[in-house]
Amino acid sequence: MPDPFTPTTQQPTSRGTHVACIMDGNGRWAKRRGLPRTAGHTAGEETLAEIVRAAAHRNIAYLTVFGFSTENWVRPPSEVRHILGLHRRLFGRIDELNANNVRVNWIGRPFDEPGARTPGPVQKAIRDAINDTKHNTGMVLTVAFDYGSRIEIARAAQRAQTKRPTKEINADTIAAELYAPELPPVDVLVRTSGETRISNFLLWQAASARVYFTDCSWPDFGATQLDEALALLTATR
């Protein structure tokens, strides 16, 4: 039986829209309310669940979210533990994901490669979510966890050269070795909380994306802001 964790390379017949989100501002959202940073992350996880539902209902084909970066491990241990627990809960929303016909995907440093830091319980939650939603045919939700785009691109170039030592390495051969080569280019990249950076997220995949910056913190991000981001596509066609 094939490993359910292995990403599929099957291409959709119609690519559809790919939205990517940098979910920023959870800690500042909590601070403004006199709450601990962990409360902001909890609120942000609930917002993500709402955005997954909203995106699925808008027939968005791909939603990719920046869950946890390779740089986030330097945060206070208590905050990291809380975020890890929230990700286990996120990947555990199987009934809700299946009800919305959402298929789960993941990108990040492979668990068995040097430098990978995803804890065993989170690995299991990721594997289970991928397996338990693999038959869904709707939106693909990709969570970037222990992810950094520079590491991804460098790894892809190294793998491409190893596999084709006598051939030219070009954009196509590198793209084929990305964490999830089946993911299409990003159409709209969302960054919340007033920051105007893309913070080492999907640098390769978002090369031609429209970018939606908003002062709205991630816990306050909703369907209205999602529609504003999607409007960038119709405004430029």
Compute CA 36 distance to the chain's CA centroid, rounded to the nearest angstrom. 25
Single-letter residue type at 47 = T
SS (H, E, C) 153-186: HHHHHHHHHHHCCCCCCCHHHHHCCCCCCCCCCC
Q: Which of 3, 26, 59, 72 is catalytic?
A: 72
- DSSP helix/strand/coil, 152: helix
- CA–CA distances in Å: residue 231 to residues 23, 63, 119, 210, 234: 19, 16, 38, 10, 5
In angstroms, rounded to a whole number, what is the distance separating the alpha carbons of residues 191 and 24? 7
> Do 24 and 193 meet the contact criterion of CB atoms below 8 Å apart?
yes
In angstroms, rounded to a whole number, what is the distance separating the alpha carbons of residues 174 and 158? 9
Q: Which of 24, 132, 146, 187 is catalytic?
A: 24
Phi-psi region for residue 193, left (φ > 0), alpha (ψ -120 to 50) or beta?
Answer: left
Annotated catalytic residue 146: no
Annotated catalytic residue 200: no
Catalytic residues: 24, 72
